[in-house]
Structure 1
Amino acid sequence: MHIGFLNPQGNFDSNNSHITKHPDFGGQLIYVKQLAIAIAQMGHKVDILTRQIIDPEWPEFAEVIDTYPGIDNVRIIRLPAGPKEFLPKELLWPHLVADWVPNILKFYQEQGGLPDGMTAHYGDGGLCGVLIQEETGIPFTFTAHSLGAQKMDKLEVTSENLTEIDEQFNFRYRILAERLSMNRSAINITSTRQERFEQYSHRVYSGAVDVNDDNRFTVIPPGADFSIFGAKARSENEEATQWFIQERLARDIAETRRDLPVIVASSRLELKKNILGLVQAFAMSPTLQERANLMLITGGLDNPLQEEASDGMTEEVLAPIRKVVEENDLWGKVSAFGLSNQSQESLAAAYRFLVKRRSVFALTAVYEPFGLAPLEAAVAGLPVVATKNGGPSESLQQGDEEYGVLVDPEDPADIARGLERLLCDAQEWEYFAQAGQQRVLKNYTWESTAENYLTLLEQISSSPEASPRAELLPIHPYFRNPESQTDVFLEELSDLYFGSNQKVLINVA
């Protein structure tokens, strides 16, 4: 079978370059790469379709065709969409319609044949799946990863600030593209049942898809890469990573505290990751400060607690964290840095090193759609404290069985309680280290994820109209011709989000 992955945002290359450099990168790239490789290793041909970038700051993304070393049957195909330089995902919409989709069709025409089926990722990939299907009849699955409506909720969009917020995030296109994607896809793939019933049931998606229709949804959780994160795996830079961490601890942690366990968090510096809540929990607990240090692995910045970030949004995250550290005199107890080699292999080596100190992994995001990071930490041997909001409530708990400690991310006292539970009781630490690891090894493998995707893709490519669906939504003229009038998009978004009976003033520039 020949499968195309539609993933215009972020980018892919053989070395996983810039994996944490920009919000458009990160976890969803790892998801697509690992899934593509797992499918290819089952003997199928896979193309990861993404955007070509010709920019001195992003030299890895210029070649049209790339491969992963030692992996057969996977191609990274980069095709132009708009200007040559890197563009954030919010600015890609007109270029996907005008350039990227036509370039995909032209590429396959020159190759002599189209894929048998497509799997589209995020709303922008989903929109492209809709347009390609309309042109060629090729069916597609839609994996949203996260939906725009929840982001609008978190940004506290109101009728007064809608126009201003939309200027930055272009929800006017994202929401309507997501509606089209979930409506026109052969099936919608979610990582958890909670994602299906909570995210897709948001009022802005009403009429696009019925969340209670089992023919339109399937849950396929992603996997952890045991060859990288496994407790017995080893990377080429295993020892170098250990030495690097020891050097950073020597730089940041008081000498008498350097052998203590650590509470480790690893994420991009974004408000939604709620690193501040973790720092506040540490600050308010004398017990935690007595028993452990706090370690923040933060991506590109080498010393984020001491140096200002050039990026305003990153600085917005760091400034309140520094304030908590300063006001609670946490200097000498907190270390923050980016790994010298920002790769999954380095992160896995860091986890294995921290297991020896009986450390704990923490993910305190306000909401985490799935939460692959805690599963990767768990399979390395770290017990996990994670947000109860989102995927971890399914992956780390089943009935009364606990595989990690779930906490309320908006309650620092509850975060502290969860951390104390593991750090103050050796038996609890041992139980959750073992239980979490076994849970992941048994239930969260990329092979299983690939098998489930393949079953669906083979099904829809042989019988593309097998699944009954709601009435098809029309494709707005803008999604056919980006030069058409777009004011109506903001009006439609307002009606969907606030309700058509509420009068909203739309200020269109």
Structure 2
Amino acid sequence: MGHPLMIGPQSKRDRVQEALSAHSNELVSLFSSGMLSDQSMPIIFTMARLNRVKNLTGLVECYSKNFKLREQANLVVVGGYFDVKKSTDREEIIEIEKMHGLMKRYNLHGHFRWIAAQMNRARNGELYRHIADKRGVFVQPAFYEAFGLTVVEAMTCGLPTFATCHGGPAEIIEHDISGFHIDPHQPDQVAKLLVDFFERCREDPGYWNNISDAGLKGIYERYTWKIYSQRLLTLAGVYGFWKYASELERRETQRYLEMFYILKYQDLVSSHGQDIRSIATPPDDFPNAGCSPFPALNEVIFLSHAQT
């Protein structure tokens, strides 16, 4: 008797994977500009909003200028619109025009595909996995990235990831172990790092797996929903405790100030032979009047000014 998951010569899992792969190939063809002549080549993949900080056009220019890199991998970019008429954001319009200009200037036909921004999260997940099946990489070229959600998503799908060294990704990735840090201000170095990676993968097919596995390990150790929820609950508990403790501290401080007022302050004023209230009550126009939540402390502040 055959394996329970086997249906004829293929398992259900194989059939599902084939269907997803076919659908992913279709996704890379839909809603896009440009084409990939040799689809057997690995893919350099990036996905982000199309604006100056995300620097997608910077990655395209970096790729375009390095012919050695173009010989080793295709480039697929997901972000923005193709038609400037569809965008109402001035910065995005500038980047759209720049992207079209780069495609023409460097004759990227056959090496580059530009896919419109995708709002379907399941579809985005399939794109990551499709690139991983092609033994490709994910590049996050932003000038600054506060956290790096796409970095976590790509690494979760097993993609070796090259991400900006400015911001959150610098903490997510351990350079040359679970991924690579890149400086978007040094595009030549970025291109060289990618070329070296693909050359090493060609010489040692296991290298891609090593980086992929290390990236997955880092994600499972630090960025799963279970870990996130545990940290959130811990922080909520700590916040609740200190909020309670700080309330206690304020009450104790007020009691101390009242004690100081009764035991020390009254005697100090009386020793000067003046009525306590005539000197201790600050006028309405006194600059520090009302600055403290404790009435006694306000009077102490005023008295210190009056005696000087």
- How many Å separate the matches in 2 of 1:252 and 1:373? 23
**2:202 is aligned with 1:421:** no
Tell me the percent identity: 26
Aligned counterpart, 1:272: 53
SS at match of 1:270: coil
User: 1:241–1:350: 8 Å Cα contact kept in structure 2?
Assistant: no
Deviations 1:369-408 (A, max 9, x none): 11121121011011011111111111102xx763111111
Deviations 1:108-140 (A, max 9, x none): xxxxxxxxxxxxxxxxxxxxxxxxxxxxxxxxx
Aligned counterpart, 1:247: 29
**2:180 is aligned with 1:405:** yes
Q: Which amino acid aligns with 1:244?
A: E
The within-5 A match list for 1:385-400 is 385-397=162-174
One of 429, 432, 441 as aligned partner of 2:220:
441
The structure that is helix-richer by fraction is: 2
Q: Over aligned residues, Cα RMSD in angstroms?
A: 2.8
- How many Å separate the matches in 2 of 1:309 and 1:396? 36
Deviations 1:192-214 (A, max 9, x none): xxxxxxxxxxxxxxxxxxxxxxx
User: 1:261–1:291: 8 Å Cα contact kept in structure 2?
Assistant: yes
Kindly tell me the number of residue pairs found equivalent between the two proteins. 227
User: What displacement does 1:463 show?
Assistant: 4.0
- How many Å separate the matches in 2 of 1:451 and 1:467? 24
One of 230, 240, 243 as aligned partner of 1:464:
243
The within-5 A match list for 1:491-506 is none
User: 1:386–1:405: 8 Å Cα contact kept in structure 2?
Assistant: yes
Aligned counterpart, 2:209: 430
Deviations 1:421-460 (A, max 9, x none): 3222213423211211211122211211111111121232
User: 1:386–1:392: 8 Å Cα contact kept in structure 2?
Assistant: yes
Q: 1:354 to 1:316 in 2, by over 3 A?
A: same
**2:118 is aligned with 1:353:** no
One of 111, 118, 129 as aligned partner of 1:333:
111
User: 2:160–2:215: 8 Å Cα contact kept in structure 1?
Assistant: yes
Which ranges in structure 2 are unaligned for 5 or more consecutive residues? 1-13, 248-308
User: What displacement does 1:415 show?
Assistant: 1.6
One of 271, 275, 288 as aligned partner of 2:69:
288
TM score, norm. by length of structure 1: 0.41
SS at match of 1:425: helix
**2:155 is aligned with 1:373:** no
The within-5 A match list for 1:107-186 is none
Deviations 1:30-83 (A, max 9, x none): xxxxxxxxxxxxxxxxxxxxxxxxxxxxxxxxxxxxxxxxxxxxxxxxxxxxxx
Q: 1:307 to 1:322 in 2, by over 3 A?
A: same
Rg: which structure is higher? 2
- How many Å separate the matches in 2 of 1:244 and 1:342? 16
User: 2:32–2:116: 8 Å Cα contact kept in structure 1?
Assistant: no
- How many Å separate the matches in 1 of 2:246 and 2:49? 38
- How many Å separate the matches in 2 of 1:326 and 1:354? 25
